[in-house]
Amino acid sequence: MINEQHLLNYPIPEIRQVLRWQDVALYNLSVGLGQDPMDKAQLPYTYEPQMTALPSMPVVLGYPGFWLKAPDTGVDWVKVVHGEQSLILHRPVPVSGEIIGRSSVTGIVDRGPGKGALIYSDRVVVDAATGEKIATLESTTFARGDGGFGGKSGPVKPPHPEPAGAPEITCDLATRPEQAAYYRLNGDFNPLHIDPDVATKAGFPRPILHGLCTFGVVCHALLRELCAYDVTRFGRMDLRFSSPVFPGETIRTEIWREEGGAAFRARVVERDIVVVSNGRFRFA
């Protein structure tokens, strides 16, 4: 069972990470870039002379690992799913050097017995040499098996409102059947995404794609459609994970332009089900 004060003060380790262009290429490939070798617009994301990091890459930088799996957290880790993710990009992600990730739990909401709990956390990614911020990440984790520990019922982060009408832009990007196996090499080793037995125990028919891999696919769509692949124009994205994606499915990002950015959501084409909702993008 969750001990609220213990979890709020949990000593998530600070992570120092040496970044190489190969790490950047692996991340970009693991979220689906490079599937069309003739698409020259994607070449800077796969080819070392021009190597560029996708704006969503901070989600795997300074990552402290699946620390919620530790027994002393009190969390039923098998039933944990990613609920929401925000990314604020302070500067383009470097392709080499040393970075530091500092993570902390910022809030816990008890939704009641049988209704789970929400765990809010953030991570600041900084350049180790200069101390300059690269990105700020805010996450909501849905601990489906941990409601009823006697904690507070709020405040709950309100979602961005859903847009009305038909989208102005749609972008279909395919995932690969083995994409979760590639993506986990970025450091997210939750067996839910590769072990069929763990997936079954968690209530899924087969391993699911990492939520943050879906995040990267949607980031690619926003970068392509709104920024013409110019990372200096990319400022912030926020979204809610509505349903899991199975590797091999096609993710369709639907976009509504707004002043200063756009609203968006995403669905799986094959099942016509919304997998990302309440999305907001802002230009730098």
Catalytic sites, residue numbers: 188, 193, 208, 211
Neighbours of 271 (CB within 10 A): 13
Give the residue among 243, 262, 264 at the shortest CA–CA distance from 254. 264
Q: Report residue 106 CA to chain centroid gap.
A: 18
Number of H-type helices and E-type strands within the chain: 5, 10
CA distance 126 to 178: 31
CA distance 183 to 217: 11
Neighbours of 1 (CB within 10 A): 9
- DSSP assigned state of 93: P
Secondary structure of residue 263 in the 3-state scheme: strand
Q: Dihedral sign, CA of 84, 86, 92, 96?
A: negative
CA distance 144 to 146: 6
Cis amide bond preceding 155, omega within 30: yes
